[in-house]
Structures are given as C-alpha cells and as structure tokens.
Amino acid sequence: MLKESIKEQILIKVKGEAFKKHPFFYLYDLSNITSKLELLNTYAADNISLYYAMKANSNFEILELIKKHPNVKGVEIASSGELDIALSHFKPLQVIYTGPGKRPYELELSLNNKIRFLSAESLTEVYRISELIEIHNLGKADILIRINPNYDIKNSLKKMGGISSKMGIDEDRIIDVLEEVLKFKNINVAGVHVFAASGIIEHKDLLEYVEYIFRLVSKIESICNREFKIIDFGGGFGIDYSCANKKFNVEAFFNHLKMLVDNFQYNNKELVLELGRFITAEAGYYISQIIDIKESKGKKHIIIGGGINHIRLIRKHPINIIPMGNRLIYDKQPAVKDEFVEIEGPLCFGEDKIDEDIFIKEANIGDLVVISHVGAYGYNVASLEFLCHPKPNEYVCCNA
C-alpha cells in the first residue's frame, strides 16, 4: 500500500509543468534513508565502519544526506566517474575503490588523490599499483586484497563469490599471492575484502558467512605471520521486493556479530560494511502516466511513458495505480478492470517490459503507475540513452 504522504508528494509533482511534457519521474523519500541509517547506527558496534555503496544511487541530494550523517564513514566506488562524484561530496580518505579491471589511469587517479584504499582484485593490479607509486614518488599506499572465498552464501539475490568469478583472488591461491604481495616495499596490505553476495534477507545466512571468513582470516594471518586490521565484508543486507514483509533482522545480525567478534578476539579489527540497496532501495519510487491501453490476442497491455530506458527491473516490484479521472479520448477506449495484464514501456523492443501477468484492479489511460522499491539500481542502471527518449527527472521529498 502506498503511503499517503508519498501519494501527496507525487500528486504535487504531477501538477508541475515538467510533467505535462514528460509524464514520468523518480521520487526519493529522504526520511526513509535517514531511518535506515539510524537503524544501523542503533545496533552496530564501535568497530563497524559503514560505507555507502554509491553504485546503488548517486543522486546528488542522496549523497549530501548520507555525507552529513555522523555515522557514515565514507563511500565505496567502482569507477573513475564515481570517484569524481565522490570527491565532490566526500574527502579522499573517506573513499574505498573496489571492482575488477581498473585501468592504469584509474589506479593513478586514485593514488594521486590519496583515497583511503584501493581494493586489489588481482596480482596484476598490485604490480600496477606498485609501479605507479614508484613513478609518481608517492611513498607507500594502503590497499585491501579481495578474496573470492570457497563459500556459497545461501538464498542471496546475486552471488559474486564462491563461484568462478572475475571478482577477487580465489581462496585456493590467496596464500601464494599474499606471500608475493607482502614483499612489496611500497604497498601495505591493510586488510582483506570479501564481498561475496548481495540481497540476503535471512541474517543467519550472512552470519554463517561471517564466521567462515573469520576462520579464513585467522588461518591466513597464521600462515603469513601478518595481522590484518581491516575486514571489508562489502554489502549483503537485502530488502524484500515481494510485499511479503520480510525484513533483514539488523538487531539480531549485529548482536550475533558481536558474539563472533568476541569469540575470535577481533575487537581490534575494523569491520567495513558497504551498504547500498539496504539504505536507498525502499526510499525510491518511479512514477509514470499510462499513455495507452491496448488489447492483443486476449491480453491487455498497459503502456507507460518509460520502460527499460528508465528502469530495468530484474524482479517484481510493488506496483500501485493512482486514478486521475482523466476524460475519455473516445467512447470505447480500453480500460482495465480486475485483470492480469502486461505493463510495458514505449520502446519498439519486445523485451521492454516492466511486469508480466500482474493483477490490476482498475486502470485507465491517464492514470499513474507507481513502482516502489526502486531507490537502488533504478535510474542508475537504466538504458537512459536507448532510442533517445527523454530521461526522467529525479525529485526528493520528506527530508526530516
């Protein structure tokens, strides 16, 4: 069910001049983001460092809100473009740069800006970093080494570890690689990066992974005779897109994490969380006018102002209809009443679908389709240039 406060904000925007020409936009509820940050702050221990994963949503107002929150330590990025944006909001020592295939230019840019950490995803990257430090006479740089652990996290939305992957260095090779890397005089391995999956709803699944990583780190430290100060777990906290009201239990996760930290005597280690989806997803809404309703071979198709050029959904999201009571264009124009329909965009492309076989109680041409939980990986991953359609505006509201 759409909150009344959000519905009111949507209707305000619909009355604006911009909507008459381009009847679609994103709306971000900043109070929802603040609530998520406060929830994390309530239960996280002192040795937890929260970084915002900027890839989820790089909207200016959202970054400004997150930057000002006292318990956000910084931002995680994965490109030179994100680095430019990050440095316009955050200090260099608040930035962690992750991701495979970093170009030499990107490594050089990061080193020259003296960001906090580069996460090295391969031995090639380590050699490039060392060479650039020497060329530019930068002294010594702190890095993280990313590991692809032999662990498959259950029930996750997206796996990046425990499988054959371009991410990180396989656990089976990590000792040999580290023994080589630790010989570099101009590189300090401050810790390890072990992001393996995203979109985890059951906190116990993530805790089992944390325990596995703690054991792995203890083993590596013992073999290499080296203590690492940082373990970067990446993200993982999921949100429920299904309207089943499932929630990642933040309180239980941090309570059990504290027990694991005590058991492994890891209170002196900094544990980094790079959260994006969990912080912004539920704050976002995509709104579009229904442009047309067509019936084809016994099935109705609701066509809205934007499709995959505005929003690429890889799962079903909550969808609501706001009736607008527009005049009929002609007497027998199609409408929807208690039917399973397709919701699609305007692109001349068969895969331009928003949802398939969704039950809609009532909808008419001119009504609004409101798609919820699109504050993460919505605007940022859309094919915005495809067919040169106009881009949706982005608005914020409800800044507590």
Q: What letter does residue 93 receive in the DSSP assignment?
A: G
Instruction: List strand residue ranges (DSSP E) for 12-162, in order.
Output: 24-29, 48-53, 72-77, 95-97, 117-120, 141-148, 158-159
Which residue has tokens 């016994």?
Answer: 298
From residue 314, give the alpha-carbon distance in Å to each of 248, 268, 387.
20, 40, 21
CB burial readout 141-165, b (16+ within 10 A) else e: bbbbbbbbbebebeebbebbbbeee
Instruction: Spot the catalytic one: 224, 348, 388, 397.
Output: 348
388: annotated active-site residue: no
Q: How far apart are CA 257 and CA 220, in angstroms?
A: 20
Q: How far apart are CA 198 and CA 167, in angstroms?
A: 14
Q: How far apart are CA 202 and CA 131, in angstroms?
A: 43
At residue 329, φ and ψ (nearest 5 deg) are -80, -35
Contact criterion met (CB below 8 Å) for 400 and 30:
yes
Contact criterion met (CB below 8 Å) for 344 and 353:
yes
For the annotated catalytic residues, the residue numbers are: 348
